[in-house]
Amino acid sequence: MRRVRHLIVVLGDQLTPTLPSLAAADPACDRVLMAELQDEATYVPHHKKKIAFLFSAMRHFAEELRAVGWPVDYVKLGSPENQTSFTAQLAHAIATHRPERVLVTEAAEWRVSQEIAGWQALFSVPVDVLPDDRFVCSTPAFQAWAKGRTQLRMEYFYREMRRQTGLLMDGSQPVGGKWNFDSENRKAAPCDIFMPRPRVFAPDAITSEVLALVEARFANHFGDLAPFGFAVTRADAEAAFAAFVDRALPQFGDYQDAMLKDEPFLYHAVISQYLNCGLLDPLRVCRRVEAAYCAGSVPLNAAEGFIRQIIGWREYVRGIYWLKMPGYERSNFFDHTRGLPRFYWTGDSGMVCVDAAVTQTKEQAYAHHIQRLMITGNFAMLAGVDPHALHEWYLSVYADAYEWVELPNTVGMSQFADGGLLASKPYAASGAYINRMSNYCSSCGYDVKQRTGPKACPFNALYWDFVARSRNKIGRNPRMAQTLRTYDSFAPDERKRIAESAANFLANL
Ligand code: FAD
Ligand code: DLZ
Ligand code: SF4
């Protein structure tokens, strides 16, 4: 076998042909290493669909590279050459090929970046770690933006990203005269409206082989493997995104916060799993949405709302993650210690809203943002669940979950466990909010109008109990002042009933 010049390690979420480590190399003398690894598939018990999606997308990407001339060592799980970790696999490949250098694009997650940081000391060949250019804002640029600011509000960061990219800009001013149309994005969805569905793709031979592997190896992991309809190639991910732009984007803005029973996707894009592993490019999808707005096929509140999620929230949470790691994963502002209730795995709590979110998560490895934030996240905070246990759950169960994006959303946004770095107030809500934004309550055994007692919606007593028990933590937050005044206006008997109802419910969890 001829001597390999550069060995390029491509990680599972680096499925992008223009990846810096590939751009820096030459198929004529360099070689790519990709591997399906037991350690990566089990550091949390990932949803079966998530593992199958990523393995199949990795195998298709290896084929995509081979088709343009790259020699690729693709190490399948279960093959004789397979080692369980990145480091062991690389050691094996170095012994086989004796490359002059190893190239790798920096890992998206702290855990893997630490593993890579150890390679230089372990191996006798130089290891080059290249910055990942697949984000709009580099980590040094985010750190420069954050430096000296007392508050790191997403809105101001987002405006910078709009200026930097020129997306929906009219010179130095935002198109439409406003930066943010969020207030127009909070309609509850009527249940009889036409509902688009994300495109699904029949498994090909590669995916079918992966599905059999996952069923055999990860049978005890959470989640349904079938039916499997994710795109696993760049072309199909593009097609799924194009279908979203045509069919759902026009209504995306209006119904972004809505929830409907038996409608897991509503007008959401269902593309985060493709963006996060590199099958779709964030800036390209935003430019496509901007073009749809300019062509008059989508309203401004939809185009702006979508672009804000990508160049605003997605980039912002990544910046926060790298600013605060390590240590951010142990944030616990409220000192919550309760274990994760069993029904996060089974979906049999009796609360229709929670069970709908868990059941569709089990079926689809997907729940939309408001379900994650205001149902499962909100419930966990009100019930006092340990944020780290919840973080591990979110990291396991969603096809789009990688720690850099999941952790700030869970610990910062949904649990306020960082004490307000990311959110200006806790996203805590009683049943009234859920009832306003969804049709769950009409089929629930609990009564959303009752605050206390055995039939009362658990979110109600838990909400007021959370407000009361967290007073010394949230009392100085101006955005919580009205809520505390309302609690204080309750008669002592009512406060006692709230405490008892919450305690009874939690005792039976
Ligand atoms: P859409 O609603 O159609 O939005 C379009 C795109 O915007 C998404 O594909 C996503 O790339 C981006 N986006 C929207 N909101 C956010 C956000 N808050 N942070 C980052 N990107 C955003 N997103 C992940 O990609 N991975 C995660 O592991 C993840 N964990 C989350 C955990 C919690 C507790 C919460 C509250 C949110 C989490 N999110 C996560 C953010 C968000 O829920 C998902 O990005 C979104 O639901 C993906 O579905 P979609 O593609 O249909 O998104
Ligand atoms: C999430 C994941 C899974 C399930 N499996 C693999 C794998 O077998 N091989 C691989 O290269 N990457 C995998 N990943 C992604 C990594 O865990 C990790 O998220 C990325 O390398 C980013 O740090
Ligand atoms: Fe959820 Fe309460 Fe409504 Fe039942 S009544 S669906 S528990 S908010």
Full DSSP string of 366-430: ---HHIIIIIIIHHHHHHTB-HHHHHHHHHHH-TT--HHHHHIIIIIIIT-TTSSSS-SS-----
Q: Is 320 in the pocket of ligand 2 (CB under 6 A)?
A: no
Residues 378 and 429 sit within 8 Å (Cβ to Cβ): yes
Q: How far apart are CA 100 and CA 94, in angstroms?
A: 9
Q: Is 441 in the pocket of ligand 3 (CB under 6 A)?
A: yes
Residue 447's φ and ψ, nearest 5 degrees, are: -100, 115
Distances (CA, A) of 408 to 4, 255, 402, 404, 414: 40, 24, 11, 7, 9
Residues 49 and 25 sit within 8 Å (Cβ to Cβ): no
Residue-by-residue pLDDT tens, the chain, 509 positions: 567 999 999 999 999 999 999 999 999 999 999 999 999 999 999 999 999 999 999 999 999 999 999 999 999 999 999 999 999 999 999 999 999 999 999 999 999 999 999 999 999 999 999 999 999 999 999 999 999 998 899 999 999 999 999 999 999 999 999 999 877 666 776 666 667 899 999 999 999 999 999 999 999 999 999 999 999 999 999 999 999 999 999 988 888 889 999 899 999 999 999 999 999 999 999 999 999 999 999 999 999 999 999 999 999 999 999 999 999 999 999 999 999 999 999 999 999 999 999 999 999 999 999 999 999 999 999 999 999 999 999 999 999 999 999 999 999 999 999 999 999 999 999 999 999 999 999 999 999 999 999 999 999 999 999 999 999 999 889 989 999 999 999 999 999 999 999 999 999 98
Q: How far apart are CA 379 and CA 485, in angstroms?
A: 22
Q: How far apart are CA 113 and CA 268, in angstroms?
A: 31
Contacts (Cβ under 8 Å, ≥6 apart) of 173? none
Torsion angle (degrees, nearest 10) of CA 218, 219, 223, 229:
80
List of E strands, 211-273: none
- Residue listed under structure tokens 């306020």: 416
The pLDDT, as a whole number, for residue 410 is 98
Q: Ligand 1 — pocket residues by CB below 6 A?
A: 268-272, 275-276, 306, 309-310, 313-314, 317, 368-369, 372-373, 377, 394, 398, 400-401, 405-406, 409-410, 413-414
Q: How far apart are CA 295 and CA 287, in angstroms?
A: 12
Residues 136 and 283 sit within 8 Å (Cβ to Cβ): yes
The pLDDT, as a whole number, for residue 498 is 98
Residues 468 and 494 sit within 8 Å (Cβ to Cβ): no
What's the gap in Å between 382 CA and the centre of ligand 3? 14
Residue 363's φ and ψ, nearest 5 degrees, are: -75, -40
What's the gap in Å between 324 CA and the centre of ligand 1? 20
3-class state of residue 314 by DSSP: helix
What's the gap in Å between 310 CA and the centre of ligand 1? 9
Given ligand 1 and candidates 400, 403, 413, which is best to mutate, with the most ligand atoms within 8 Å of its CB? Answer: 400
- Ligand 2 atom 8, closest CA: 36
Closest ligand 1 atom to 415 CA: 34
Residues 367 and 398 sit within 8 Å (Cβ to Cβ): yes
Among residues 110, 108, 116, which one has the least CA distance to residue 9?
A: 116
Given ligand 1 and candidates 409, 415, 422, which is best to mutate, with the most ligand atoms within 8 Å of its CB? Answer: 409
Question: At CB < 8 A and 24+ separation, what contacts does 504-508 make?
Answer: 504/454, 505/458, 505/461, 505/462, 506/338, 506/383, 506/384, 506/462
Residues 24 and 9 sit within 8 Å (Cβ to Cβ): no
Q: How far apart are CA 486 and CA 505, in angstroms?
A: 23
